[in-house]
Amino acid sequence: MGRKKSEKIILPPELPPEIPDDEVEVSDEDLQFVQHNRQYALGFSRLDTQSITKHVTRVADAKEDALEALYEKRLKKKALQKEKEESGVQIDPVDALPVKTLDGKLYYRTLTKTSTLSELGDEEAGSTDRGIVRLTKPERRAKLKKQRKEAKKLGKELEKVEEVQQTPQAAVLAEVKEDLTAEEAFESKKQKLAELGMALLSNPEPNIKSLKEMLQISKDNDHAIAKLGVLSMLAVFKDIIPGYRIRLPTEKELEMKVSKDVKKMRFYESTLLSAYKAYLQWLIMLEKKPSFQHVAVRCICTLLDAVPHFNFQESLLGVIVRNIGSSDDVIRKLCCATAKSLFTNEGKHGGEATVLTVRMIADHVKAHNCQLHPDSIEVFLSLSFDEDLRRQEKAAKEDNRVKNKKNKKRKNLEEPSQMPGSDKKKSRKELMTKMREEVAADYKAASFTPDVTERRVMQTQTLSAVFETYFRILKHTMQSTSASQEEIANSDSGASGSHPLLSPCLKGLGKFSHLIDLDFMGDLMIYLRKLASGSGNSGNCSQKNSKYLTVSERLQCCIIAFRVMRSNLDALNVDLHEFFVQLYNIMLEYSPGRDRGEVLAEALKLMLCEDRQHDMQKAAGFVKRLATFSLCFGSAESMAALVTLKHLLQKNIKCRNLLENDAGGGSVSGIIAKFQPYASDPNLSGALASVLWELNLLSKHYHPTVSTMASNISSMSSAQNQVHLSIVSPQQAFMDLSLERESFKPHNESMKLNNKRKKGSGSSKSASIEPIPDASSIDEDEVRKKLSTHFNLLRDIKENERLRSELDRTTLYLQLYEQHKKQKKKGKAKTKRSKVLTA
C-alpha cells in the first residue's frame, strides 16, 4: 500500500553560529595534546563526508532569506521523490529488508510496475492483469522451509567435503603448530622468570612485588616451568634474605608515627616474609608429589643450609627430619648432609637449629619404633661438644661477681659526696646504663654468639636428646626376643633386620662415652653385657636373640664397654670378665663373608693388646684360641690373630711354656688343669696343659707374611726375658693384608714339587691335579659370563625370598581380616538376640 501525502514535514536542526577563524584561540596545551594523540585523530579522516553533507550543509556567503529558500527547495524535492515511490509497487516486508535512514525511520524498497512485470515469468505476466504478484502466508512458509532444508543439505555436504579433504598432512601440520605455540609459551615464561629474577637480584626493594609473580609462574601446569620457577625463587631468596630474623611490628608499633624510610623497610620486610611463607608452603606441597619430590627437597635443604637463622626454621627442619630415613638414596643423602652441616656450622644459627634437629630426630625415632635407616642416627656422629664450657661459665660468673662488687663500692663512695644538683647526673647515668644494656641485648640478638650459660644449656639439651635416643634403641634391641614370628621371617639371615639402628647407636656411644652421666653408667653396662651375651630381658642366653645380633654387633658391645670403662676408670668399679668370656666364644662364631674383620681386629687390640693386666690362665686360654683361629680363616684375619698372640706372649712370659714340646710346658710348677678345648671360659680351659702345635702348620702357610710371623713366634723361648712389644697393631695388620689380598699371587713351587713326587710314584691321582693357569691363558668373556649367571641366580633367589615373605605377610593379614569379620558377625548376632529378648 502507498503512504499518505498528508505526512508531517520534519525540519532539520538549527545550524550553530559561525565564528570567524581570527577569533578562534588555540592554547599551547591543546596543541601538545593533539600532537601527542595524533593516532587517535586518524579516525576523523575516515569519516564519510558525502553522507554528512547530504543532511547538514553550510552554504558560504548566503543570507538568512536565501538559506530559507534553499531549505524549501530541498523539501519539495523530497516530496516529489516520495510521490514517485508511492506510484510504484511495495514489496512485502517478509521478502525484503527495510532501509533505516539517519532520521531513524524505516523505508521499504519499492518497484515500479514495469520492473515487476519484466522480472516475472511469462506465465505469471499473462495471468496477472494488474501487475501485482503477492503470495499467501502458507506459501511463504512452505517456501521458507524449502530454503532451510536446502541450506542444511548444503552444510552437510560441505562438512563431508572438508572431512575428506583433511589428510594426515593437515593433522601433522596442526600438531606442529601446537608444538610451536607451546615452545613459544615456554620460552616466554622462561624469559619472564629470568627478567624478574635479575630485577630482584639487582635491586630487591623496589621490585619485591615480583616475588608473587614468580610464585604464580612456578605454579604453572607445565612441570618444566614449575621446576624452573622453584629453582629461580631459591636463587633469589638465598641472595636477598637478610642476616637477621624478621619480626613484624605489633599493633602499637603500627599506630606510631614513623619516617618514610621506616615505612619502606616495614613494607619490604612484610612482603618478603609473606612471599617466603607462600614459597615454603608450595615446596611442602610439592614434596608430597613424586615428580617434584627431588626438586622440592633439594630446595628445602639448600635454604636451610644457606639461611638457617631465618624465619620458619621449624617447618624446614620438619621436612628434613621426615625424609632423613627415606628409602630414596638421593633424598636421604641430601637430608643427612644438611643435618651434618647444621651440626658443624653452628656459627650461622647459634646452636638453636642443632637442638631442634636433634630433638626432632629423637621424636622421629620414637614414633617409628626404632625402625629407620641407619643414616638417620649416624648424623649424630657429626656433633661436637665443648668440654670447657663449665670452666668458662665459672669464670664468667666470677667476673660478673667482681664487677658487681666494684660497682657497689663506687656507689657507696659517691653517695656521701653528692652535691645538691647531683640528682640530674644520677638520672643521666641511669639512662645511659639502661641504653647500654639495651644496645648490648640487641647486639647479642643480632650476632649469633650466645652466652656461655646459654651454650651450656643448649649443649645439655642436645646431649640429653642424643643419649635418650641411644638408650631407647638399646632397650628396643633388648626387647627383640618378644618379636613375632612374622618379624623373624622378614629379618635377614643373621642381619640386624629388627634393629637397624643398633650399629650407629654403638658407634655413637663409643664416641660420646666420656660425656655420659655416672648415674646411667650402671644401666648402660648391664645393657651392653646382655647384648654381648645375646640374652634377653630374662637374663638367660637365648638362641633366638643370638640370631638377631651379628658377631660384629656383639663385638661392638664389648668394645663400647671397654671404652666406657677406660674413660671413667676412676669413678667405676665394674668387673669386665664377662666381656672377655664373650670375646673368647665369639671368635669361633666369626665368618669372613658375613662379619666385619676390622671390628674383630679392633676388639683384639682394645681388649687384649691394650689391657694392662692379664691373668696367666686367661692369657694362655686366649693364646691357644688365637692359634686355633689362625688356622681356620684367611690371611688377614690370621695375621691379626698372630700379632695379638705375639703381643700376649711378650707381655706374659710364663705363657711361653706353650712353645715347648713336652706336655704342660715342662717348667710350670704346681698342679696343671687338664686341657679342655670346648670350655666357654678362658680361665677354665686349662690351656697351660697344651702345646701350640698350630704354629708348625702356620709356618707352612701359603702367604709368606703369615708363615714368617708364625716361625718368629715359634722361635721365641721362655728364657728370653726381654720384652719388645710389637709396633704393628692387629688393626694395621688386618688392613695391610686385606689390601694385598687382591694383588697377591701364591708361589707355585710347592705345587710343582708335589706334582713331581706324584708323577714319580706313578699314582693315578696325578692326572687329576692340574697346574694353576696363568693370567694370559684365562678367557675373560667366559669368566664374565659365569659371574653374570652366578649373580643373576643370587638375585633371583633374593627376589624369591622377598616375594615369599610378602606373600606370607598378605596371607596373615587376610586371615586376621577374616577373623575380624567373624567376630563382627558374632557381635551383630548377639546384639540382635539382646534386642529380641528385650522386646
Confidence category of residue 175, pLDDT binned at 50, 70, 90: low
* pLDDT of amino acid 692: 86
pLDDT for the residue numbered 428: 75
Q: Helix (H, G, I), strand (E, B), or coil: what is residue 257?
A: coil
pLDDT for 359 beyond 90? yes
pLDDT digits (tens, 9 = 90+) for 198-239: 999 998 898 888 999 999 999 888 888 999 999 999 999 999
pLDDT, average across residues 637-645: 89
Question: What is the b/e burial string over 481-516, where b = at least 16 CB atoms within 10 angstroms of the residue's CB?
Answer: bebeeeeeebbeeeebbbbbbbbbbbbbbbebbeeb
Q: Going by C-beta distance under 8 Å and a sequence separation of 6 or more, which residues neighbour residue 587?
A: 600, 625, 626, 629
pLDDT recorded at residue 723:
46
For residue 675, what are the CA distances in angstroms to 354, 446, 682, 829?
57, 74, 11, 72
pLDDT, mean of residues 422-446 = 70
Task: Kindly report which listed range (187-201, 554-568, 750-764) carries the lowest average pLDDT score.
Answer: 750-764
Task: Give yes or no for residue 737 having a pLDDT over 90.
Answer: no
* Res. 2 pLDDT band, cuts 50 70 90: very low
Instruction: Confirm if 268 and 208 have CB atoms less than 8 A apart.
Output: yes
Could you give the CA distance from residue 530 to residue 540 in angstroms, rounded to a whole number?
Answer: 9
What's the rounded mean pLDDT across residues 36-62? Answer: 65
Which residue would you say has higher pLDDT here, 668 or 701? 701
pLDDT at 281: 92
What values do phi and psi take at 768, rounded to 5?
-80, -20
Is the pLDDT score of 350 beyond 60?
Answer: yes
Q: Which of 589, 585, 600 is nearest to 644 (CA)?
A: 600
- Whether 821 shows a pLDDT value over 90: the answer reads no
Pairing of strands 89-90, 106-107: unpaired
The fraction of the chain above a pLDDT of 90, given in percent, is 12
- Cα distance between the two ends of the chain: 93
Residue 465 has pLDDT above 80, yes or no: yes
What number is the average pLDDT over the span 470-474? Answer: 90
pLDDT of residue 320: 93
Q: What percent of the chain is modeled with pLDDT above 70?
A: 67
Is the pLDDT reported for residue 711 higher than 80? Answer: yes
Average pLDDT, integer, range 660-678? 59
Task: Identify which has the larger pLDDT, 580 or 29.
Answer: 580
* Per-residue confidence (pLDDT) for residue 596, from 0 to 100: 85
**Whether pTM exceeds 0.85:** no
Nearest to 210 by CA among 273, 123, 272: 272
Given a contact cutoff of 8 angstroms between Cβ atoms, the answer to whether 269 and 304 are in contact is: no
pLDDT tens, position by position, 287-321: 988 889 999 999 999 999 999 988 898 999 999 99
